[in-house]
Amino acid sequence: MTIPKTMRAAFIRATGGVEQIEVGELPVPRPGPTDVLVRMAAGGVSHVDLFVRSGAYRTHTPFPFVIGRDLVGTVVEPRPGVASHKVGGRVWCNSLGYHGRQGALAEYAVVADDRL
């Protein structure tokens, strides 16, 4: 599979109300040595996402910040330090979108191997 250079994503440029959410193109993120690039198939939104987006839950949010914690998807690119996940494997994660980790509501997400 060829990985595109850009993807569609739901993101914010500042914390605040729902009007801060944008949907548009962002670069596809690049995984680090112990990360996995996942193509998102389904995502969920919960009250935690609202707290992060609004700024009520103070956490590092590098802007533009992809929102969303939860995803189910397919492994596209496991990095060399990842032994437990292979290309094509189905995975889920519920710990994105806070503490500096970009979120799940995008076509692609980088997830630390130990969080899949």
* 46-89 pLDDT, tens digit each: 999 999 999 999 999 999 999 999 999 999 999 998 989 999 99
Tell me what the pLDDT averaged over the chain comes to.
96
Average pLDDT over residues 85-96: 96
Residue 41 to residue 84: CA distance in whole angstroms: 20
What pTM was estimated for this model as a whole?
0.94
Domain positions in the chain are 6-115
Q: Which CATH class is domain 6-115?
A: alpha beta
Q: What is the pLDDT of residue 110?
A: 98
